[in-house]
Amino acid sequence: MALLQVQEMVKHFGGIRAVDGCSFSVEEGTITALIGPNGAGKTTVFNLICGLQQVDSGKVYFNHAQIHQLQPHQITRKGIARTFQISRGLMDLTVLENLIIHAPTKGIMDLLKNTMSSHEKDRAMELLEFMGIARLADTKAGSLSFGQKKLMEIASALMAEPRFILLDEPAGGINPALLEQIIERIKLLNKQGITFLIVEHNMDMVMTLCNPVIVMAYGKLLVQGTPSEVQNNQEVLDSYLGGS
């Protein structure tokens, strides 16, 4: 069953058509990759799915309901979470506090409170333990390494108990040992029922972790298929992987 459907998505920035009639679907329970050369429109697609930018035309469905006209917090409540290439954590807050601010709110009183509930703290510590960074709970986020910030971002995304996670370049700029840790956590979360759509340039990671693979070029869908099909597709080889 398609959990996410993108239909004829278009986004202009001035005279540039960053996303040009792009359509694809993500099946529930998969770890799907979204790849393509720089400037292909991948991050813009993420921004449009999660409501950070509005589509010029086209539709986005999540669990068969339209979401492309919703605000980001409404989309989060539907069960979609997202990470970024560069951490958007609050660097003056501790790691634990960064997770707490991502806890789902039940109304205006939750937003106004200045203390964390024991349930929120327990949930946050559980996620930090799962990601292997519980020892950093009281550390200021600004002092973390690039890779540790990636782990914090994933843990923060999990605070809202999402059904679907958009991961934007989780492997970017981190060492191989930490990458292996992230890959294993993605696999475990997927087994627990979370569906992933991952933008990534690390082809070894994509081809071993993800199935299917969606390829974009110049804002358009180029091909969607298994890793093997994508690796052997001549259009992909020519436009992205550098030719045979």
For residues 10-21, give the mean pLDDT.
93
Q: What residue spans in the chain does CATH classification 3.40.50.300 cover?
A: 1-79+162-244
Residue (of 180, 146, 147, 194) closest to 30 by Cα position = 194
Question: What residues are paired with 35 via a beta bridge?
Answer: 215
Residue environment code for 20-52, b if the CB has 16+ CB neighbours within 10 A, otherwise e: bebebbbeeeebbbbbbeeebbbbbbbbbbbbe
Q: In CATH, which of 3.40.50.300, 3.90.1150.10, 2.60.120.650, 3.30.470.10 is domain 1-79+162-244?
A: 3.40.50.300
For the segment 188-240, what is each residue's pLDDT rounded down to a tens digit? 999 999 999 999 999 999 999 999 999 999 999 999 999 999 988 888 887 76
Q: By CB neighbour count within 10 A (0-12 exposed, 13-18 middle, 19+ buried), where does 113 fall? A: exposed
- Phi/psi of residue 7, nearest 5 degrees: -125, 115
Instruction: Provide the pairing of β-strand 57-62 with 2-13.
Output: antiparallel
For residues 156-162, give the mean pLDDT.
94
- Residue 22 structure tokens: 């792009």
Confidence of residue 106 (pLDDT cuts 50, 70, 90): very low
Q: How far apart are CA 68 and CA 89, in angstroms?
A: 25
- The DSSP secondary-structure symbol of 5 reads E
Taking all residues of the chain, what is their mean pLDDT, rounded to a whole number? 90
For tokens 């696999």, name the residue: 187
Q: How far apart are CA 111 and CA 100, in angstroms?
A: 11
Query: Which range in 36-40, 50-54, 84-88 is most confidently predicted, on average pLDDT?
Result: 50-54
Which comes out higher in pLDDT, residue 103 or 229?
229
Sign of the Cα torsion 218, 223, 225, 229 reads negative
Confidence of residue 104 (pLDDT cuts 50, 70, 90): confident
How much of the chain is helix, strand and coil, in % rounded to 5? 40, 25, 35
Comparing 93-107, 140-154, 164-178, which segment has the lowest mean pLDDT? 93-107
Asked whether residue 110 carries a pLDDT value surpassing 70, the answer given is: no
Whole-prediction pTM = 0.90
- Residue 162 structure tokens: 């999402």
Q: For the chain, first and last CA: distance in Å?
A: 34
Instruction: Provide the pLDDT for residue 5.
Output: 97
- The DSSP secondary-structure symbol of 220 reads E
